[in-house]
């Protein structure tokens, strides 16, 4: 189970463990737990010692949970032997910053370990966490009912302000008191700073990582250049390496554009990327936006229009529980014709362009350029308005296309809506 700290890995595994007769938790940040791997050279001995110390009978169903496994490269290697030699013992490992630990593993157990990824809660999970079952049911109806729109948009407004970190939701849900959250965000962000700095190669790298984490949120609304990032004197290579560490840690990921209008969609690593933080709630805290967001009827204009696209991208990432695939946005960079579409989504043999804004259809210039260059006639706008499907013509070549407008709160439902939209129109 992979994911950044405090996204709920330990909690979800403990819930899963309730179906077993016995549950063994090893936290490898503790000396008494990591010694099982430091002092032994085979998994059968480890199993026997654990069963003895926990008074477990061999006939019982047992889940072994190895938490913070990044602290022991040897334990990571041993996963292979648990799989091969003790298949009846079920093993789950979890850790943050695993990418750094894997560099020290001499022989990774390829084919013996299945990766799963955990992210901050998305909007659908938020509704479940606060116990709003009726809203969750309404969210999953396709198409969404008109009478549910106001309730869902207001709930999404709350979610957009506090984000998806489980600890923040847990403290906010009982009485909707947002004043309790700044200390939580600050603690989480400081923990991330301390964690990533431990894996920096030297003092200079630590300074660069700290600089990025202190300034990056200010550039959420734009594509970034590595050279002199954040008004620094750091070189492109230094900033690039620091961003790679943050990307590995899943704290600040780099989202690269594509120039493709047909499948397969390939990121263009030579072009300037956008930044994607782990959680929008943390970004809101870093920018001091929470009070402003509370007073805005339409979030599309928050922080230069960057908050909602960031959150929708976060929601799409949250659906990837079995891989690290990132979304892409589309660019066309010509001297006399610049274009940028917020997201593209691959469905079967087509690539659907997605714009995230509140403007009228006539302002979708980049989306129109995409439509005129692709092999289909489907487009999506994500906005604060109600669900709607309309027929239009592109202004330039007068190409007919169908536009589906989705309310912001349907980000997690996007894959279902794309299938329903494309198949229903054919």
pLDDT along the chain (426 residues), means of 10: 91 94 95 95 94 88 94 91 94 85 73 90 96 96 96 95 95 89 92 78 86 94 95 95 89 96 95 96 91 80 89 95 90 84 96 83 84 96 94 94 96 96 85
Look at residue 31 in the predicted model and tell me its pLDDT: 95
Dihedral sign for Cα 238, 240, 242, 245, please.
negative
What residues have CB less than 8 Å from 140, skipping those under 6 apart? Answer: 124, 413
- What's this model's pTM, rounded to 2 decimal places? 0.92
For 137-168, letters b (16+ CB in 10 Å) and e give ebbeeebbeeebbeebbebbbbbbbbbbbbeb
Distance in angstroms (rounded) separating the CA atoms of residues 246 and 226: 14
Cα separation, 303 vs 308, in Å, equals 9
> Which pLDDT does position 122 carry in this prediction?
97
Find tokens 């600050």 and name the residue.
186
Please give the DSSP secondary-structure letter assigned to residue 272.
Answer: P
- Give dist(CA 268, CA 332) in Å, integer: 12
| 3-state secondary structure at position 12 | helix
Q: How far is CA 309 from CA 45, 140, 143, 163, 319, in A?
A: 51, 21, 22, 13, 16
Report d(CA 216, CA 50) in Å as an integer: 45
Give the residue among 120, 110, 32, 116 at the shortest CA–CA distance from 71.
32
């Amino acid at each position: 189970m992979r994911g950044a700290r405090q996204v709920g890995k330990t909690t979800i595994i403990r819930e899963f463990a309730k179906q077993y007769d016995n549950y063994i938790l090893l936290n490898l940040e503790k000396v008494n737990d990591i010694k099982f791997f430091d002092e032994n050279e085979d998994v059968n001995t480890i199993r026997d010692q654990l069963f003895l110390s926990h008074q477990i009978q061999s006939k019982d169903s047992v889940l072994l949970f190895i938490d913070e496994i990044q602290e022991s490269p040897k334990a990571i290697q041993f996963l292979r032997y648990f799989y091969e030699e003790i298949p009846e013992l079920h093993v789950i490992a979890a850790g943050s910053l695993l990418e750094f630990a894997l560099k020290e593993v001499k022989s990774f157990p390829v084919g013996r370990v299945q990766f799963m990824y955990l992210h901050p809660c998305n909007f659908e999970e938020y509704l479940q966490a606060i116990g709003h079952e009726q809203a969750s049911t309404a969210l999953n109806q396709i198409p969404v009912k008109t009478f549910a729109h106001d309730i869902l948009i207001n709930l999404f407004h709350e979610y957009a302000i506090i984000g998806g970190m489980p600890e923040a939701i847990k403290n906010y849900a009982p009485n909707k008191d947002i004043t309790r959250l700044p200390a939580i965000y600050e603690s989480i962000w400081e923990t991330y700073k301390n964690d990533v700095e431990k894996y920096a190669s030297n003092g200079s790298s630590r300074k660069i990582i700290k600089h990025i984490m202190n300034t990056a949120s200010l550039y959420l609304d734009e594509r970034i250049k590595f050279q002199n990032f954040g008004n620094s004197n750091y070189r492109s290579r230094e900033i690039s390496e620091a961003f790679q560490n943050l990307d590995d840690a899943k704290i600040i990921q780099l989202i690269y554009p594509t120039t493709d209008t047909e499948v397969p969609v390939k990121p263009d690593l030579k072009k300037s990327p956008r930044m994607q933080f782990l959680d929008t709630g943390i970004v809101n805290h870093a920018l001091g936006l929470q009070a402003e967001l509370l007073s805005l009827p339409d979030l599309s204009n928050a922080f230069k229009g960057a908050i909602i696209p960031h959150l929708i991208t976060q929601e799409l990432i949250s659906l990837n529980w079995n891989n690290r695939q990132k979304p892409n946005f589309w660019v066309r960079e010509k001297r006399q014709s610049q274009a940028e579409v917020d997201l593209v989504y691959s469905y079967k043999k087509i690539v659907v362009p997605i714009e995230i804004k509140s403007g009228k259809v006539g302002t979708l210039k980049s989306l129109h350029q995409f439509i005129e260059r692709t092999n289909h006639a489907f487009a999506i706008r994500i906005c604060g308005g109600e669900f709607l499907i309309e027929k239009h013509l592109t202004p330039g070549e007068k190409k007919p296309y169908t536009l589906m407008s989705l309310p912001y709160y349907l980000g997690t439902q996007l894959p279902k809506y794309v299938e329903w939209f494309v198949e229903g129109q054919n």
